[in-house]
Amino acid sequence: MPDSKIGPIVGVILAGGRAERMGGGDKCLLEVAGKPILARVTERVRPQVDALVLNANGDPVRFGPYGLPMAPDSVPDFAGPLAGVLAGLEWAEAHHPHARHIVTVPADGPFVPRDLVKRLAETLVADDAELVTAASGVQTYPVVGLWPVRLRQALRDALVREDLHKVDAWTRRFRRAIAAFPANPIDPFFNANTPEQLAEADRLAALYPDI
């Protein structure tokens, strides 16, 4: 469970994109090693958080089997991952006001670390940061992060008033720390964005079934 020093944490799975490189649809419902990616993400993240919500748009029926509450974007026109982060912050404020932070993960990452939240929380405390994002190897993953709920209005203002959509551009405004994860034998933040990457995820899952 989350680090006691920062209190309860809400997990937010980001599935609000249009999956254009995968030909449209919900890429998180595609299978890796015989299991939908969303099922893999949910199984890995749920034990790490106090509540779990899915940021997705459109008809919620298609996600019914996962038993997740939905938090659709409150900013229209598929405004990017920051809109998903905002939806998570607003959902946490409304439904879990005792939670001071959310953690976000993309819905197309089948290998999300089982100790993600613990390590993000430890980095937040150790670095006296306001927010934390993840990295592995030389690659940064700004949408994998730990965010304070108190920044929700600042994020809404950036999206709506400034039309700011780049995650790094917004996070640089605050005391941001980076939590580094090993990239071997699998990059834990591998994304299945294309059919080729989906096939690679299948191959990796078969090679390393215990990860």
Instruction: List pLDDT tens digits, range 41-73.
Output: 999 999 999 999 999 998 999 999 999 999 999
pLDDT band for position 24 (50/70/90)? low
Is the residue at 211 inside a domain? no
Is the residue at 210 inside a domain? no
| 90 to 1, 10, 39, 149, 165: CA distances (angstroms) | 22, 11, 24, 8, 17
Is the residue at 1 inside a domain? no
With 90 as the cut, is the pLDDT of residue 25 above it? Answer: no
Domain harbouring 85, CATH code: 3.90.550.10
Instruction: List pLDDT tens digits, range 104-133.
Output: 999 999 999 999 999 999 999 999 999 999
Residue 78: per-residue pLDDT: 73
The boundaries of the domain holding residue 122 are: 9-205
On average, the pLDDT of the chain sits at 92
What value does the mean pLDDT take over residues 164-186? 96
Is the residue at 150 inside a domain? yes
With 70 as the cut, is the pLDDT of residue 33 above it? Answer: yes
Residue 29: per-residue pLDDT: 94
Q: How many domains does the chain have?
A: 1
With 70 as the cut, is the pLDDT of residue 23 above it? Answer: no
